[in-house]
Amino acid sequence: MTRGYARLAAVVLALSVTLSSAACSGGEDAPARPESVAGGASALPGPAPANLALRPAPSGLPGAPAVTGALTDGSPVTLADLWADRPVVLTFFSSWCTLCAERQGALSELARTHRDKVVFVGVATEDEPQELQQYLREHRVEYPVVLDEDGAIARSYAVREPPTVVVIAKGGALLRGWPGGVDAAALDGKLRELVLAS
């Protein structure tokens, strides 16, 4: 009986050593974890805060083009769904645009500052996926990014080249655009003047 117990203990010990070494080895059989895609659906905002105070859009303004597109991870997005409950800032850019890169860090910080109040959406035109992902990570872009491979979204907003920034009121009124882009401090001032009531 003692001999049988000793054999059983030896088998259990050998089995536990084998299992623990297999679990820790991270060998070739272990699947690689996919790296998350910057600018994808996980960057979309949650519901707008219940106490969100916004300025009403002036009457008589044109409506923004309610385009649809795909985010960097392939998820569909409709801009009208985003501006249904809060203002939207569109930032048209490309990873190869020098001025875009110079201003992006401050724009990313501004987007974090107003995260619950305003939806920032990047529109990447004529970009390569690998270069775009590198750009988004390097400049800490944490908001959703729409791929505009053929330039159709840019054309619908009369954007000739990046950078361009567009502010859209809750409900879709086209408030202001900056061909050539705008620095974050000036954009922050305009957001407080045009859309944010507090």
Using 50, 70 and 90 to split pLDDT, how confident is the model at 36? confident
* Domain of residue 167, CATH code: 3.40.30.10
**Preceding amide of 144 cis, omega within 30:** no
CA of residue 53 relative to chain centroid, distance? 24
Structural domain boundaries, residue 81: 41-194
Phi/psi region, residue 181 (left: phi>0; alpha: psi -120 to 50; beta: rest), is: left
103 occurs within a structural domain: yes
pLDDT of residue 16: 39
43, amino acid identity: A
For residue 14, tell me if it sits in a domain: no
Tally of CA atoms within 13 A in the half-sphere of 177 that contains its CB: 18
pTM tops 0.85 = no
For residue 20, tell me if it sits in a domain: no
pLDDT tens-digit profile of 84-93?
A: 999 999 999 9
pLDDT at 4 over 80: no
In a domain, 185, yes or no: yes
Tell me whether residue 172 is in a domain.
yes
The answer to whether position 4 is within a domain reads: no
The total number of residues written for the chain in this structure? 198
Please provide the distance, in angstroms rounded to a whole number, between the alpha carbons at the two ends of the chain.
Answer: 80
Q: Would you say residue 30 lies in a domain?
A: no
Decide if 159 is inside a domain: yes
The beta strand positions in the chain, using DSSP E, are 68-71, 76-78, 88-93, 119-125, 145-148, 164-168, 174-179
In the chain, how many domains are there? Answer: 1
Average pLDDT across the chain, whole number: 85
